[in-house]
Chain A
Amino acid sequence: MSNWALIIYCGLITYLTRFTMIALIKKEMFNDRIREILSFVPSAIFPAIIFPAIFINDAGLFQIQDNPKIIAAIIAVVIGIFSRSIIATIFSGLASYWFLIFVV
Chain B
Amino acid sequence: MGSKLKIFLKGVIDVSPLMIPVVPFGLIFGVLAIDVGFSPLETIGMSLIVFGGASQIIILQLFSGGASSLVIISSVGAVNSRHLLYGAVMSEHLSDLRLIWKIIISYFLIDQGFARSNEYFKKNKDSNKYFHLIGGGVTCWIIWQITTFLGIVLGAIIPERLGLSFAIPLTFLALLINDFRKFINVVVIIVSGLVATLGFNIIPFKAYVIVAALIGLLSAIILTKIIKTNE
Contact = CB atoms under 8 A, between A and B. Distances in A.
A101 B52 CA distance: 31
A10 B59 contact: yes
A48 B80 contact: no
Nearest to A58: B165
Interface in B66-111: 69, 72-73, 76-92, 94-95, 99, 102-103, 105-107, 109
A65 interface: no
Interface in B202-231: 208-210, 212-214, 216-217, 220-221, 224
Interface residues of A, number: 69
Contacts of A60: 200-201
A26 to B, nearest CB: 5
A48 B63 CA distance: 15
A3 B169 contact: no
B135 to A, nearest CB: 16
14 contacts: A4-B45, A6-B59, A11-B51, A14-B51, A14-B55, A14-B76, A29-B88, A44-B212, A45-B212, A46-B173, A48-B196, A49-B58, A50-B176, A76-B174
Interface of B: 20-21, 24, 38-39, 42, 45-46, 49-52, 54-55, 57-59, 61, 63, 69, 72-73, 76-92, 94-95, 99, 102-103, 105-107, 109, 162-163, 165-181, 184-185, 188-190, 192-198, 200-201, 208-210, 212-214, 216-217, 220-221, 224
Which 4 pairs across A and B sit closest by C-beta, in order of nearness? Answer: A44-B216, A21-B87, A25-B87, A51-B193
